[in-house]
Structure 1
Amino acid sequence: MASNNDSIQKTIIVALSLCLVCSIFVAAAAVGLKPIQNANKDLDRKRNILSAANMLDSNTSIDTVFESIETRIVNLETGAFATQAELDEAGIKPATYDQQAAAKDPQLSVALAGSEDPASIKRRAKFASVYLVKSDIGIDRVILPVHGYGLWSTMYGFIALEDDFNTVIGFGFYDQGETPGLGGEVDNPNWKALWKGKKVYNNQGQAIIQLAKGGVDNSDPQAVYKVDGLSGATLTSRGVTNLVQYWLGSEGFGPFLVKLRRGEVQ
């Protein structure tokens, strides 16, 4: 009996020792790979920003092309670039600011409910990253992060506008979990290409760009504000419309874009 007990004890000790050694190796690997994972995440972010702005160049590295883009932080409550004092108070560094994480922090975000939240995001960060492409005469294009709920998931993407801050250059999602073949068609390059040249705002300054159920009728005077809806994915299509109108509207980047048009922000 004692021999059996010794055998069980030894088995437990060996098992625990093995678990301890394995956990040490796993922890060390996680720590060692963290910089690589962060670098890959940052590279993927840059790739998606450049893709939205139609600036990907197969002959030039992503980092090199991205050098032409300036990252700024916008205070969504004022519609202006955040001051250094505001950034310092919030503990924000433009190059590393995580807007998704900020939206979960009550100190860095505001709660939304009901009609305030058409995009179903629940909380909106007080500050948002924007990406500017500049030329000798000013801002050539602006790339804005957008997100909102579809049928199954929160969809995260970027939309790029020309220097009139109204005409779409490109649009795409980099993270979504919609139904493959239906709502998942938001990743279809042919559908994303339909956004190019579309207008966001009407003459009254309202963000009315939307997905059209059944497709766009080009004879419609409002066709310039419409993109073909996703076949068989009504709720995803509605979610895309809601999130784009929200983020480009008065509660999102709308006031900032107005100031850009007027030359009130530098």
Structure 2
Amino acid sequence: MNRESNTYTFIFAIGMVVVVAFLLAFAATSLKPKQDENVRKEKMQNILKTIGVEVEREAAEGKYKDYIKEELSLESDGSVDEGTDAFDVDLNKELKLPVEEQHFPIYIADVDGTKYYIVPLRGAGLWDAIWGYVALKDDLNTIEGVTFDHKGETPGLGAEITQPWFQAQFEGKKIFDDNDELVGVKVSKGSGTKGDNEVDAISGATITGNGVTAMIKERLSHYLPYFKKQKTQLALN
């Protein structure tokens, strides 16, 4: 075949596209198990971080087994769904379902004899999804720690929700008010001392901050039946 012809050029281009597509598909398929494993370990890292356990990714699974004693998948009435693996629940998919059909994962940790309840979070920021975890002390009211992440918030503005200085503000905050009503934690503008249910906002990131506020309250609201049962048991003991 004449290598100077248009036909040769066309066939060569098609061949190259096919070869490159095959190589990319092969690489994606080959790497997927490793990628999935990295995502799994990163999730463990983030859960542990809320209770003050900082670990490298490769050590996450061992530490996770040391501290996380229960993984529960709750139904909307607070009962436990024994047939669903809490760790595998995808909140992105769950949020598209009616509330009564959703599963609500919760992780119960033990750190030196102290129990913590860790709740996954997911909501909306300015540009795309935001998510994270919040750990509650055994009073099911006081926050031990949080971690947040995002898909597309603005660097230097909304993306600051991932920074330690912002997340540290939540430590010791309360999710219930003095009337025992769930209010979550409000990301609030303005100077001065913040109350038990407030933290300082990020300058120039009002919508992202509002998203964090809404995400915390909305997700925790679905755990109220379970929290009520746990508090009743605690009172009886």
Give the RMSD, CA atoms, in angstroms.
2.6
In structure 2, the partner of 1:116 is none
Structure 1 unmatched ranges of 5 or more:
112-123
Alpha-carbon distance in 2 for matches of 1:49, 1:131 = 8
| TM-score, scaled to structure 1 | 0.77
Aligned counterpart in structure 2 of residue 96 of structure 1, from 84, 88, 110: 88
Matched, 1:110 2:98: yes
Give the conservation status (yes or no) of the 8 Å contact 1:72–1:94. Answer: yes
Cα-to-partner distance string for 1:119-146 (whole Å, 9 max, x where unaligned) = xxxxx96102211114797x70011111
In structure 1, the partner of 2:105 is 129
| Of 194-203 and 16-25, the range deviating more from structure 2 | 16-25
Residues 1:235 and 1:95: Cα distance change in structure 2 (over 3 Å)? closer
Alpha-carbon distance in 1 for matches of 2:64, 2:106 = 13
Aligned residue runs from structure 1 range 247-262, under 5 A: 247-249=219-221, 252-262=222-232
- Per-residue deviation at 1:94? 3.2
Cα-to-partner distance string for 1:182-238 (whole Å, 9 max, x where unaligned) = 2222122112111111111124321223223214525xxxx1222112223222222
Letter in 2 for 1:253: Y
Give the conservation status (yes or no) of the 8 Å contact 1:183–1:233. Answer: yes
In structure 1, the partner of 2:63 is 65
| TM-score, scaled to structure 2 | 0.85
Cα-to-partner distance string for 1:216-261 (whole Å, 9 max, x where unaligned) = 525xxxx122211222322222222222122222xx2222222222
Letter in 2 for 1:7: S
Alpha-carbon distance in 2 for matches of 1:191, 1:95 = 26
Letter in 2 for 1:78: D
Aligned counterpart in structure 2 of residue 245 of structure 1, from 211, 217, 223: 217
Q: Secondary structure at the match of 2:216?
A: helix
Give the conservation status (yes or no) of the 8 Å contact 1:216–1:228. Answer: no
Q: Which runs of 4+ in 1 moved over 3 A?
A: 3-6, 92-95, 134-137
Give the conservation status (yes or no) of the 8 Å contact 2:92–2:122. Answer: no
Residues 1:9 and 1:193: Cα distance change in structure 2 (over 3 Å)? same
- Per-residue deviation at 1:64? 1.1
- Per-residue deviation at 1:65? 0.9
In structure 1, the partner of 2:187 is 211
Alpha-carbon distance in 2 for matches of 1:180, 1:8 = 48
